[in-house]
Amino acid sequence: DQPRPGGGGDRVDIMINAIKLLLEHGVRATRQLGLGVLDLCYVASGRMDVVYTGLSDEGWKPWDYCAGLVIALEAGCEMTHRDAKCDDNVIGRPLLLRRGYDFNLYSKSMICGVNRTLVENTRRVVLGH
């Protein structure tokens, strides 16, 4: 195998594999709008079901989350870090946001969806669990 230009072959493979896994699990289309806040607003408005970032080093910056976080949560969306477990049996669920604002804006990972089930299912698929 020839190395890819830029040396990011492993990161690219991780991201492409996640999309492949999603498509194999029934997702019909994927898109990336290019602006994190727009992605979050599209989830909040129902134009998209879920958005995620941070499978490798491609995570968003704080300004990508700020306004979108407020809009998504006020619309009733669920937002969590990629590695958080959306489990009702965990007291306090410190990483799961449900009408709360404890999200770490400096995090490199996030999953936001229209409901908890979709967020958890997306997390399981893209992480290969």
What does the mean pLDDT of the chain come to?
77
40 contact partners, CB below 8 Å, separation of at least 6 = 51, 65, 68, 69, 71, 72, 77, 112
Label residue 98 by pLDDT band (50, 70, 90).
Answer: very low
What pLDDT was estimated at residue 94?
47
What pLDDT was estimated at residue 44?
95
| More confident call, 44 vs 79 | 44
What pLDDT was estimated at residue 99?
44
CA torsion angle for 63, 122, 50, 119 (degrees, to 10)?
A: -80
Closest to 19 in 3D by CA, of 34, 35, 32: 32
Q: What is the pLDDT of residues 23-75, one digit of tens each?
A: 787 877 777 777 889 999 999 999 999 988 887 766 788 888 888 888 998 99
Tokens 């999603």 belong to residue? 22
Contact call for residues 39 and 31 (beta carbons, < 8 A): no
Label residue 5 by pLDDT band (50, 70, 90).
Answer: low
Residue 9, pLDDT > 70, answer: yes
Query: Which whole-number Å values give the CA distances from 1 to 4, 9, 10, 53, 112, in the listed order?
Result: 9, 11, 12, 27, 36
| pLDDT more than 70, % of the chain | 76
